Chain A
Amino acid sequence: MTTAPLLKVEHLTMRFGGLTAVNDLSFEARKGDITALIGPNGAGKTTVFNCITGFYKPTEGMITLTQDNGDSYLLERMPDFRISWKAKVARTFQNIRLFGGMTVLENLLIAQHNPLMIASGFTFLGVLGIGGYKAREQQAIDKAAFWLEKINLLDRADDPAADLPYGDQRRLEIARAMCTDPVLLCLDEPAAGLNPRESHDLNTLLLSIRKEMGTALLLIEHDMSVVMEISDHVVVLDYGTKIADGTPAQVKADPKVIAAYLGVDDEEVEKVEAEVGLQ
């Protein structure tokens, strides 16, 4: 493997007042890989995400994203919307953030805001009806339809997003993020609240995104079955510090990881033990 890492996080530290949420964290996510970020509750996983996607400005550290064509971006210096638009990093949210009062289709069109904005001549030509906006919009709708087909929601394209059941909303949020053509997709607990069947469908979806789109995935997950099944590379956080980094098999066997989970939460301990095969 000689490819440069797609995402390189170096010495990332994030403090809120006196609280250090993330402490000197370094890791890499490679192109085409599925990287999982795991750790007990409050380990600082979502904070890492917020730093990568520009919602928080890290106190210290460097986050570099290198695209295929060699362009690289320092994410910690970019405002959030530019990270999505230029560096092509998309994300989903732990508590789903869809535009509930807009249709499923509209949600996917908003994700294509920037290319459509250019096509509409930054609104000026669009208002006058000049230029090829109509055709470009049709393309955008086709792209949305493609993704709806993929997540099995084409039938519900014209329904308000808030009307969808929970599992569909999760998948719609992923499809919406994919409509921004990301090179890196950050998923914040995509399997939370899904039943085993939905969880399985999600795995299929994520694997197909990687395979067909070549998009790298970075995911925070509590559901160990998802993590162990699909990820190529796992980073474990505890109290904001990295305690393990490696393949699922390596991480599974790491005593520090087990201790971190053991020290925290009975429920999670059982889960990890079950995964690891201690019981």
Chain B
Amino acid sequence: MEVFLQQLINGLTLGSIYGLIAIGYTMVFGIIGMVNFAHGDVFMLSAFIALIFFMLVTAVIGTGAGMIMLALIVVLFLAMFFTSLWNWTIERVAYRPLRGSFRLAPLISAIGMSIFLTNFVQVVQGPRNKSVPPMLNSSITLIDSATYSVSISYKQIVIIVTTAVLLGVFWYIVQKTPLGRAQRACEQDRKMAGLLGIDVDRTISITFVMGAALAAVAGVMYLVLYGVVNFADGFTPGVKAFTAAVLGGIGSLPGAVIGGLLIGLIEVMWSAYFTIDYKDVAAFCILAVVLVFMPSGILGRPEVEKV
């Protein structure tokens, strides 16, 4: 029971990160019907951006007790901004010219972009693991039994709380603002939205920017959680987050979060109770099984074949 509780906490932490990335996939898929293959790499890039800023900021304000929190907040916003700039540019350069082109073109372009980003980071930052000094190490013990104590570390609290708060803000933007309305309109029918005076290009750009901002949050959290990042770290979390998006029902925002949490939990539980070697195999198997047997996911709308 204690083991389970501990894994639950770990799983939710990891799941928050997947959920944040998954939103980027689900939003882009919702609005332009494209699997943004490079999104995992955007996440990886954001972790690097966060790493550099973290070092710059802590060099200025030091690593005192409260300073780490302050530094993280500053880094979070800087990473969100610069990652958004990257994704905005990527959309402008690699996807926008292909809108209305044949079906596979944007996907292929995204795959090219993914390869480019991975290798770009490798070239400019080197192939080795980059680690930051451990931070926020203390933890709160929740249950202290003789055999096994369940604890939640500060970083896990930070990750879960930040994710929850930002999701709330994001939810508000999508549901209550004109921007969100424009976005949902474009999702339903892009051509009609354009005819009604919505700037479709701008809406799509903003979707990419929002997706990147959330991926950047995930990137910062990833850095906080593991303290290490590598240029190849985009692929697997990317695929897992995509799995999460599909599992939750692609196109559905709450679905992406639920899917992310589920994938995080499954991964952690699998590692705890079965074998850690096959944890990625398990994730990929889930992806295949979900796509084959319930392609509309948990919260997605089923698709009726139009004849």
A55 touches B304 (CB 8 A): no
Among residues of A, the one whose C-beta sits closest to the C-beta of B307 is A55
The yes or no answer to A99 lying at the interface (CB within 8 A) is no
CB distance from B244 to the nearest CB of A (A): 27
B304 touches A46 (CB 8 A): no
Measured between beta carbons, the chain A residues less than 8 angstroms from B277 are none
- A-B interface contact total, Cβ < 8 Å: 7
B304 touches A93 (CB 8 A): no
The yes or no answer to A50 lying at the interface (CB within 8 A) is yes
User: Top 5 closest A-B pairs, CB basis?
Assistant: A55-B307, A50-B307, A16-B304, A93-B307, A55-B305
Interchain Cβ contacts under 8 Å between A and B, 7 examples: A16-B304, A46-B307, A50-B307, A55-B305, A55-B307, A56-B307, A93-B307
Measured between beta carbons, the chain A residues less than 8 angstroms from B305 are 55
CB distance from A15 to the nearest CB of B (A): 12
Among residues of B, the one whose C-beta sits closest to the C-beta of A97 is B307
Measured between beta carbons, the chain A residues less than 8 angstroms from B304 are 16
Residues 264-307 of chain B: 1 if any A CB is under 8 Å from the residue's CB, otherwise 0? 00000000000000000000000000000000000000001101
Measured between beta carbons, the chain A residues less than 8 angstroms from B307 are 46, 50, 55-56, 93
Docked Cα-Cα span, A46 to B305, in Å, equals 13
B218-247 CB contacts (< 8 Å) to partner A? none
CB distance from B296 to the nearest CB of A (A): 13
Docked Cα-Cα span, A50 to B305, in Å, equals 11
Docked Cα-Cα span, A50 to B304, in Å, equals 13
Measured between beta carbons, the chain B residues less than 8 angstroms from A46 are 307
Docked Cα-Cα span, A55 to B306, in Å, equals 9
Among residues of A, the one whose C-beta sits closest to the C-beta of B306 is A95
Determine chain B's interface SS by DSSP, over half rule.
Answer: loop
Docked Cα-Cα span, A16 to B305, in Å, equals 12
Measured between beta carbons, the chain B residues less than 8 angstroms from A16 are 304
Docked Cα-Cα span, A16 to B307, in Å, equals 14
A38-78 CB contacts (< 8 Å) to partner B? 46, 50, 55-56
Among residues of A, the one whose C-beta sits closest to the C-beta of B304 is A16
CB distance from A172 to the nearest CB of B (A): 19
Docked Cα-Cα span, A217 to B307, in Å, equals 20
CB distance from B103 to the nearest CB of A (A): 13
Docked Cα-Cα span, A55 to B305, in Å, equals 9
CB distance from A83 to the nearest CB of B (A): 13
Among residues of B, the one whose C-beta sits closest to the C-beta of A94 is B307
CB distance from A60 to the nearest CB of B (A): 19
Docked Cα-Cα span, A46 to B304, in Å, equals 14
CB distance from B214 to the nearest CB of A (A): 33
Docked Cα-Cα span, A243 to B179, in Å, equals 48
Among residues of B, the one whose C-beta sits closest to the C-beta of A56 is B307
Among residues of B, the one whose C-beta sits closest to the C-beta of A46 is B307
Docked Cα-Cα span, A263 to B307, in Å, equals 27
CB distance from B89 to the nearest CB of A (A): 34
Among residues of B, the one whose C-beta sits closest to the C-beta of A55 is B307
Measured between beta carbons, the chain B residues less than 8 angstroms from A55 are 305, 307
Among residues of A, the one whose C-beta sits closest to the C-beta of B302 is A17
Docked Cα-Cα span, A93 to B306, in Å, equals 11
CB distance from A56 to the nearest CB of B (A): 8
Among residues of B, the one whose C-beta sits closest to the C-beta of A53 is B307
Measured between beta carbons, the chain B residues less than 8 angstroms from A56 are 307
CB distance from B303 to the nearest CB of A (A): 12
CB distance from B36 to the nearest CB of A (A): 28
CB distance from A50 to the nearest CB of B (A): 5
Measured between beta carbons, the chain B residues less than 8 angstroms from A50 are 307
A186-226 CB contacts (< 8 Å) to partner B? none
Residues 150-194 of chain B: 1 if any A CB is under 8 Å from the residue's CB, otherwise 0? 000000000000000000000000000000000000000000000
Docked Cα-Cα span, A46 to B307, in Å, equals 9
Measured between beta carbons, the chain B residues less than 8 angstroms from A93 are 307
B98-124 CB contacts (< 8 Å) to partner A? none
Docked Cα-Cα span, A93 to B307, in Å, equals 8
Docked Cα-Cα span, A16 to B304, in Å, equals 9
CB distance from A192 to the nearest CB of B (A): 15
Docked Cα-Cα span, A103 to B154, in Å, equals 67
Docked Cα-Cα span, A93 to B305, in Å, equals 14
CB distance from A143 to the nearest CB of B (A): 27
Docked Cα-Cα span, A16 to B301, in Å, equals 13
CB distance from A93 to the nearest CB of B (A): 7
Docked Cα-Cα span, A278 to B307, in Å, equals 36
CB distance from B38 to the nearest CB of A (A): 29
Docked Cα-Cα span, A189 to B7, in Å, equals 60
CB distance from B126 to the nearest CB of A (A): 47
A87-112 CB contacts (< 8 Å) to partner B? 93
CB distance from B302 to the nearest CB of A (A): 9
CB distance from A133 to the nearest CB of B (A): 32
CB distance from B304 to the nearest CB of A (A): 7
Among residues of A, the one whose C-beta sits closest to the C-beta of B305 is A55
Docked Cα-Cα span, A255 to B176, in Å, equals 51
Docked Cα-Cα span, A56 to B305, in Å, equals 9
CB distance from B273 to the nearest CB of A (A): 39
Docked Cα-Cα span, A50 to B307, in Å, equals 8
Docked Cα-Cα span, A56 to B307, in Å, equals 9
Docked Cα-Cα span, A46 to B306, in Å, equals 11
Among residues of B, the one whose C-beta sits closest to the C-beta of A93 is B307
Residues 129-161 of chain B: 1 if any A CB is under 8 Å from the residue's CB, otherwise 0? 000000000000000000000000000000000
